[in-house]
Chain A
Amino acid sequence: MTALLQTLTDGLLIGGVYGVIAVGLSLVFGVLKIVNFAQAEFLMIGMYVAWFCWSYLGLDPIFGAFVALAAGFLIGAACQRLLVQHVIHAPPVAQIFLTVGLLAVLENGALMLFGSEFRSVQTPYQTAALEIGQLFISMPYLIAFVAAVTISLGLWLVLAHTWIGRAIRATSQNAQAARLFGIDTRVIYAIAFGLGTGLTAFGGGIILSYSAVSPTAGTQFVVLMFTVVVLGGLGSVLGALVGGLIVGVIQSLSTLVMPIQLQNLALFVVFITFLAFRPQGLLGKGAR
């Protein structure tokens, strides 16, 4: 019983982090209708930014994550304005491969700039854990989870209650109609993309507290990110968070019944099943 409870807890905690990493991808797809294969590289960028903040400014990664958010936003918005904007109306094939090229550029750019060594942080709470009876709750996971939930709720509030948020939602529902209402959709696209990449970068900053960064840090998360987003529903913020929690729990629980090597396999089966029977995910809006 304690095994089950422990696994469930761990799955939820890590799921929260998966959620915040994936929420950016969901936003980008929801608004721009583009699958951004380079999204995971922004995770890596976020991790590096947070690392440099820790290394030179002594900032804890959780605070560094906010700096990462800003950096991810700026870089993402620039990428959108300069590159992605040109393929908004191109066949999906071109959109996919623009972002694939971007992936290669970002990953290898980081390799050339920062070198291949792993860099990690040391924080006082890294090896701390809360003991509740037989349950161990890892402190970095808990803090990451709290940060993830906070920022996700923050995003939801922005989308629901601010003008920018409404403009973004309007553009994602019907770009032409939004233009008729005077919304400059090109600006909105840039902002939405930047927000998406910024959020993933924020996720990277949080992860840094318990993981290490290298130029290839993002690639571990690519398929996971997409699984979360499809599960929760492409375009839905709350869906991404929910999807993250579900994926975290599935991953965790699956280790009780099958070798941990196959944990991603369990995930893919769920993923493909969802795509087959409910492609809009749990909270999404139609498979277009």
Chain B
Amino acid sequence: MKRSLLLILILAVAALALGQMLDPRGYNVRVLCLVLLAASLGQCWNIVGGLANQISLGHAAFFGIGAYTSTVLQTLGGITPWIGMPVGMLFAMTAALLLSLPTMRLKGPYFALATLAFGEACRILATAFPGITGGPQGISVPFVGNSWAMMQFRGAGNYVYLFTGLFVVVSVVFACLSHGRMGYLMRAVRENEEAAEVAGVNTLKVKLMGSLISAALTAATGTLFAQFTFFFDPESVFSASGISIRAALIAIVGGVGTLAGPIIGALIVVPLEELLSTYLSSKAAGIAPFTFGLILIAIVLLRPRGLITLFRNRRPSGART
């Protein structure tokens, strides 16, 4: 546990230091923010996908709920996102609870499919109620210039603090869950659910807890995303391929179930995406996502347990057989 907290501290300091060195209105600091955002998103997914082995393909639902809640509260009532964020987290937890009722007993791919459908359902709902969400035209965060109170800034520089803070919170939660009693129970459920039941573990409660925590943190990430990009539509925040699959991807590429996995994944995925779109995209349409797909296949084939295995000789602690 101490090692985990130390690792988180080091990463946070590194991020903040880097943020200070870079031009606050420049491109590189924006990439840094995107990396931290992606790592946070991956870490949120990691809580259910890594620790509890519930492969969710619908995390976009919680992400979108967070983004829309805080933004709608701003546009309709001028309420600061500092309040909007916890409200969004509450809504996301409610949604997770609702989703869990019919799906908690499902295994593997069935669960994944249910979550995928849920994410899609949320997208359709957001499109169908333009009065509240702005509908398919999307919604903009009202522009107020630089303001800590309203959580927005002109340049990407100040966002580094916010995103680093988010990443630290999510990672600490992950570390606590991983090392604490809850993590122990989750691992039991993951390794052999029936045996855990027999041993007296309330598997449903364990899975539910993980799901609620992950949903809440994902919603917080959604709020920060909205404050960073200023404009989004149902397609951007409820996207299965853009958010749900990406969250899982980041955790997997790095090392699912490990603390450092998502940060490694984010450090690979985000800069790679940016590089590809800078150097290759204008040459031929589609070459960026194509190359990305190839790399994904390569990683899955050569290092299915994630790139973290490059740094460790033994199996990552608690990894599934």
Chain A residues within CB distance 8 Å of chain B = 29, 35, 83, 86-87, 90-94, 96-98, 100-105, 107-109, 111-112, 116, 215, 223, 226-227, 230, 234, 259, 261-262, 264-265, 268-269, 271-273, 275-277, 279, 287-288
* A234 CA to B295 CA, complexed, in Å: 30
A268–B118 CB distance below 8 A: yes
* Minimal Cβ-Cβ distance residue in A for B127: A261
Q: Which B290-317 residues sit within 8 Å CB-CB of chain A?
A: 290, 292-297, 300-301, 304
* A85 CA to B292 CA, complexed, in Å: 21
Residue of B287, B296, B297 most packed against chain A (CB within 10 A): B297
* A277 CA to B110 CA, complexed, in Å: 12
- Are A94 and B127 also in contact (CB < 8 A) when A87-B300, A104-B296, A116-B285 are? no
- Are A83 and B293 also in contact (CB < 8 A) when A96-B55, A112-B285 are? no
* Minimal Cβ-Cβ distance residue in A for B57: A96
| Binary per-residue interface labels of chain B (94-132) against chain A in the complex, 1 for a CB within 8 Å, 0 otherwise | 000000011100111110111011101100110110000
B162 within 8 Å of A by Cβ? no
In whole Å, how far is B290's beta carbon from the nearest beta carbon of chain A?
4
B249 within 8 Å of A by Cβ? yes
B25 within 8 Å of A by Cβ? no
B149 within 8 Å of A by Cβ? no
Interface of chain B, helix or strand or loop or mixed? Answer: helix
B304–A91 CB distance below 8 A: yes
* A234 CA to B57 CA, complexed, in Å: 18
* A271 CA to B102 CA, complexed, in Å: 11
B284 within 8 Å of A by Cβ? yes
- Are A92 and B109 also in contact (CB < 8 A) when A105-B297, A268-B118 are? yes
Contacting residues, chain B, for A83 (C-beta < 8 A) = 297, 301
- Are A86 and B301 also in contact (CB < 8 A) when A93-B55, A100-B249, A227-B117 are? yes
Contacting residues, chain B, for A234 (C-beta < 8 A) = 109
B110–A230 CB distance below 8 A: yes
In whole Å, how far is A58's beta carbon from the nearest beta carbon of chain B?
30
A272–B124 CB distance below 8 A: no
B252 within 8 Å of A by Cβ? yes
* A227 CA to B301 CA, complexed, in Å: 28
A-B pair number, CB within 8 angstroms: 138
| Binary per-residue interface labels of chain B (239-251) against chain A in the complex, 1 for a CB within 8 Å, 0 otherwise | 0000001001100
Query: Range of interface residues on chain B?
Result: 35 or more
Contacting residues, chain B, for A107 (C-beta < 8 A) = 286, 289
In whole Å, how far is B190's beta carbon from the nearest beta carbon of chain A?
10
* A73 CA to B290 CA, complexed, in Å: 22
Would you give 30 A-B contacts (Cβ < 8 Å), ordered by A?
A83-B301, A87-B301, A90-B300, A91-B256, A92-B109, A92-B112, A93-B55, A93-B256, A94-B252, A97-B249, A97-B252, A98-B296, A101-B293, A104-B292, A107-B286, A226-B117, A227-B117, A230-B110, A261-B128, A262-B128, A265-B124, A265-B128, A268-B121, A271-B117, A272-B102, A272-B103, A272-B114, A272-B117, A276-B102, A279-B110
Interface of chain A, helix or strand or loop or mixed? Answer: helix
* A164 CA to B249 CA, complexed, in Å: 36
B154 within 8 Å of A by Cβ? no
A215–B286 CB distance below 8 A: yes
Contacting residues, chain A, for B108 (C-beta < 8 A) = 92, 288
B49 within 8 Å of A by Cβ? yes
A35–B286 CB distance below 8 A: no
- Are A223 and B116 also in contact (CB < 8 A) when A90-B304, A112-B285 are? yes
In whole Å, how far is B296's beta carbon from the nearest beta carbon of chain A?
3
Contacting residues, chain A, for B304 (C-beta < 8 A) = 87, 90-91, 94
* A117 CA to B217 CA, complexed, in Å: 41
| Binary per-residue interface labels of chain B (259-294) against chain A in the complex, 1 for a CB within 8 Å, 0 otherwise | 000000000000000000000000011110110111
B320 within 8 Å of A by Cβ? yes
- Are A101 and B117 also in contact (CB < 8 A) when A265-B124, A275-B110 are? no
Q: Which B66-88 residues sit within 8 Å CB-CB of chain A?
A: none
Contacting residues, chain A, for B292 (C-beta < 8 A) = 104
* Minimal Cβ-Cβ distance residue in B for A263: B124
* A93 CA to B53 CA, complexed, in Å: 9
* A96 CA to B80 CA, complexed, in Å: 39
* A288 CA to B49 CA, complexed, in Å: 19
Q: Which of A96, A101, A259, A275 is B106 in contact with, Cβ under 8 Å?
A: A275
* Minimal Cβ-Cβ distance residue in A for B296: A101
Contacting residues, chain B, for A104 (C-beta < 8 A) = 289-290, 292-293, 296
Q: Which 4 A-B pairs have the closest CB atoms?
A: A104-B293, A276-B102, A101-B296, A111-B286
* A279 CA to B55 CA, complexed, in Å: 17
* A288 CA to B108 CA, complexed, in Å: 9
